[in-house]
């Protein structure tokens, strides 16, 4: 829906008066004149006068029927940033409220939301802070972005892609989260047009062909629905439309369907006067057409957090074609269109008192509260993305309390939503009184019962099961605490052995002194780093007794290199991950084979997740290991005379032995080969790879791991 670029102040005032007869026309005129004066001589990339942009933004907000302060903010939103205007001058001319709003939009404009992850996380926090002060700042910014996307063709191609990606990742989901689905749909489609013009064009061509083959399906189905409503004597307004290209594209990607197999590409809304009529309409639709299982949602009895209320159902309509229907009252529709902005909207000439509009202050508080638990930048961004895109499901506790969760949530998310303690101690779940795996995806209306046990602790695999930021943060926090306790205990034993090797004792005083020398905060920090292999026992001993460090003991027997085995247990290194001393390890016991030692991050461990009785907690002896631990290196080198010989010499200079060599790919210019090298430990491996990587004829070097070589 393009806007008139030449709209004048009187046209703007007339648009506002249509929904707000009491508008302060003089203040609107003053803001229009001031904005035009400040932007005089400035032009957009398209060559138009720059002030046409703030006017267009104001016009978008009049369509949303917003208050005078928001409209005036739109007219002035670029003055502080792009002109000689100041906060003080705007405050003196238009008052504190408008000055604060303009200043808030200016600060948002200066945020680089598509910058590096760390900076992006901090800027998201600032965005949420701006929202918490006055949500109208975000409304102006969203309207600003919408107009920029409508006119994006005048930007440089690389700038178009940057803006489109930022729109798709941030502004479109934010509009959706705020309940303004129409704006989300348009922003996504405008960004889709830039990011994937071929895909969008292909969809449009298929859609036009479908219309030519089937005729005006929307008109036919609308007529069918109206006929059924007349039979049921229900007065209603019926609206039908084809879905936006990006909405269709996303559904094709999510479901892995071709366009021909995608049936529900049309959407219909039925607007009625009362809530009771909504359910009468639902009955009439289901009586006439067969409902599609799993496609019913009642957001009237369980509204979304942004105030959205509607009944969603999908039926097999004309010619078996799936038809998606939304049923709501006119008041519910106002909120569905305006979302959180409905709080400032006007209706029948007075500020709206829509009973379904949410209090924006409470809404923002609820949103920000969900992000406060994040302890680092990655967690915070994960929270934002999960929550922005969330489509909610509503489940019940055994006592009938409602728990709201995002689509894709599991019983574990449900447990953490009740309380962190419940989540941490969860051992099982029942859904509708049936025992289900913890990774089960919950559906609307299900009753969930969580089973707990006192000794249970969160497992690392849970991170792949849960969908909510709250659950992920709680699991990570617990794992960190649990790991730390284990690492401190392990580090204490490593320190004791290392100090005894040089005839000393690992006293608190000695370790405290070592902590200061190493720049660490406490003895526990030293022990935790020892236990997690971030620090070696030799490092600690050298810090205090450099003259004794060279004599930390004889070479360790390779057959006894691992600590944690039972008296009669032997071990083998797993060939899939080839762990070496200095790396974190875990053992898997086999009947008749002893224990197979894996690196802690080995993908092969996934198949043993449900066999905890086979896991053995292991760690390497600290000290001088012999160079007998074979690892495989994946090398790509130039196909030139003498290159392979130089590589072998480099490895030999690092006191490492090549035990095998296999060419896997021979090209005229490059060879790719797998080299088996016998090494002492992780540090030895690092030194070898560093020396080889520095050779100019080496294109790449990496550690080769082969899951097919499992025990």
Q: Are 525 and 515 within 8 A, CB to CB?
A: yes
| Closest-CA residue to 270 (of 316, 306, 224) | 224
Q: How would you class 231 by CB atoms within 10 Å of its CB: exposed for 0-12, middle for 13-18, buried for 19 or more? A: exposed
Sign of CA dihedral 669, 675, 680, 685: positive
| Closest-CA residue to 676 (of 686, 661, 663) | 661
For residue 177 the two structure tokens come to 């989260």
Q: Are 191 and 168 within 8 A, CB to CB?
A: yes
Cα 91 to Cα 76: distance, rounded to the nearest angstrom = 12
Active site residues: 81-82
Q: Are 61 and 71 within 8 A, CB to CB?
A: yes
Helices within 64-133 (DSSP H only): 68-76, 79-82, 87-94, 96-109, 117-133
- DSSP-derived secondary structure for 403-431: EEEETT--HHHHHHHH-HHHHHTEEEEEE
Cα 520 to Cα 511: distance, rounded to the nearest angstrom = 11
Say which residue the tokens 């792949």 belong to: 464
Cα 240 to Cα 217: distance, rounded to the nearest angstrom = 9
Q: What are the backbone angles phi and psi of residue 512, rounded to the nearest 5°?
A: -65, -40
Say which residue the tokens 């284990």 belong to: 486
Say which residue the tokens 């392990």 belong to: 490
| Closest-CA residue to 272 (of 224, 326, 352, 217) | 326
Q: What's the angle, vertex CA 206, arms to CA 203 and CA 207, rounded to 5?
A: 85
Sign of CA dihedral 353, 356, 359, 364: negative
Q: What's the angle, vertex CA 241, arms to CA 238 and CA 245, rounded to 5?
A: 160
Q: What are the residues whose beta carbons fall under 8 Å from the beta carbon of 537, sequence distance 6 or more?
A: 494, 495, 497, 498, 530, 552, 622, 623
Q: Are 165 and 114 within 8 A, CB to CB?
A: yes
- DSSP-derived secondary structure for 510-557: HHHHHHHHHT-S-HHHHHHHHHTTSS-HHHHHHHH-HHHHTTS-SPPP
Q: Are strands 266-272 and 322-329 parallel, antiparallel or unpaired?
A: parallel
């Amino acid at each position: 829906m393009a806007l008139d670029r030449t709209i004048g102040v009187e046209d703007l005032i007339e648009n506002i008066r249509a929904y707000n007869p009491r508008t302060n026309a003089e203040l609107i005129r003053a803001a229009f004149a001031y904005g035009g004066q400040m932007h005089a001589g400035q032009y957009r990339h398209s060559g138009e006068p720059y002030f046409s942009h703030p006017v267009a933004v104001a016009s978008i907000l009049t369509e949303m029927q917003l208050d005078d302060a928001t409209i005036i903010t739109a007219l002035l939103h670029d003055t502080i940033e792009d002109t000689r205007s100041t906060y003080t001058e705007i405050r003196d001319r238009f008052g504190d409220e408008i000055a604060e709003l303009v200043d808030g939009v200016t600060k948002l404009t200066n945020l680089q939301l598509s910058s590096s992850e760390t900076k992006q996380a901090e800027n998201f926090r600032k965005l949420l802070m701006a929202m918490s002060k006055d949500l109208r700042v975000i409304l102006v910014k969203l309207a600003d972005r919408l107009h920029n996307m409508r006119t994006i063709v005048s930007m440089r191609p690389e700038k178009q892609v940057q803006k489109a990606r930022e729109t798709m990742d941030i502004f479109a989901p934010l509009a959706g989260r705020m309940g303004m689905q129409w704006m989300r749909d348009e922003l996504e489609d405008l960004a889709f047009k830039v990011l994937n013009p071929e895909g969008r064009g292909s969809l449009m061509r298929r859609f036009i062909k479908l219309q030519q083959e089937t005729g005006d399906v929307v008109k036919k189905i609308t007529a069918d629905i109206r006929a059924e409503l007349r039979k049921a004597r229900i007065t209603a307004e019926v609206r039908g439309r084809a879905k936006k290209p990006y909405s269709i594209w996303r559904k094709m990607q999510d479901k892995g369907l071709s366009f021909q197999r995608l049936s529900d590409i049309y959407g219909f809304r039925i607007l009625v006067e009362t809530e009771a009529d909504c359910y009468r309409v639902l009955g009439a639709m289901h009586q006439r057409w067969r409902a599609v299982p799993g496609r019913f949602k009642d957001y009237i009895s369980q509204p979304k957090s942004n105030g959205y209320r509607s009944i969603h159902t999908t039926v097999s309509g004309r010619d078996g074609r799936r038809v998606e229907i939304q049923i709501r009252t006119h008041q519910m529709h106002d909120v569905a269109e305006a979302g959180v902005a409905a709080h400032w909207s006007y209706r029948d000439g007075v500020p709206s008192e829509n009973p379904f509009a949410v209090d924006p202050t409470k809404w923002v508080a609820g949103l920000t509260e969900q992000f406060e638990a994040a302890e680092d930048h990655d967690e915070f961004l994960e929270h934002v993305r999960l929550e922005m895109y969330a489509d909610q499901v509503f489940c019940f506790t055994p006592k009938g309390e409602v728990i709201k969760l995002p689509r894709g949530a599991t019983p574990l998310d449900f447990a953490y939503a009740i309380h962190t303690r419940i989540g941490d101690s969860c051992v099982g779940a029942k859904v509708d009184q049936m025992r289900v795996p913890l990774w089960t995806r919950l559906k609307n209306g299900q009753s969930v019962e969580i089973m707990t046990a006192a000794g249970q602790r969160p497992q690392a695999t849970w991170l792949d099961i849960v969908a909510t930021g709250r659950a992920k943060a709680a699991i990570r926090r617990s794992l960190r605490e649990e790991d730390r306790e284990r690492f401190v205990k392990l580090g204490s034993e490593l320190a004791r052995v290392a100090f005894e090797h040089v005839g000393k004792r690992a006293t608190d005083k000695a370790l405290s002194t070592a902590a200061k020398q190493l720049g660490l905060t406490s003895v526990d920090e030293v022990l935790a780093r020892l236990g997690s292999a971030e620090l070696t026992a030799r490092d600690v001993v050298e810090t205090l007794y450099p003259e004794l460090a060279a004599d930390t003991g004889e070479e360790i027997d390779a057959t006894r290199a691992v600590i944690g085995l039972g008296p009669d247990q032997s071990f083998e290194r797993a060939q899939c991950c080839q762990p070496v001393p200095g790396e974190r390890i875990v053992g898997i016991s086999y009947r008749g084979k002893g224990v197979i030692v894996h690196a802690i991050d080995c993908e092969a461990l996934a198949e043993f997740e449900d066999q905890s009785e086979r896991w053995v907690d292991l760690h390497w002896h600290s000290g001088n290991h012999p160079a007998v631990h074979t690892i495989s290196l994946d090398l790509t080198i130039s196909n030139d005379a003498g290159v392979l010989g130089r590589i072998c010499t480099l490895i030999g200079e690092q006191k490492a032995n090549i035990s095998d060599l296999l060419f896997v790919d021979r090209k005229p210019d490059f060879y790719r080969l797998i080299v088996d090298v016998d090494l002492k430990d992780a540090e030895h491996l690092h030194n070898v790879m560093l020396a080889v990587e520095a050779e100019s004829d080496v294109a790449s070097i990496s550690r080769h791991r082969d899951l097919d070589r499992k025990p």
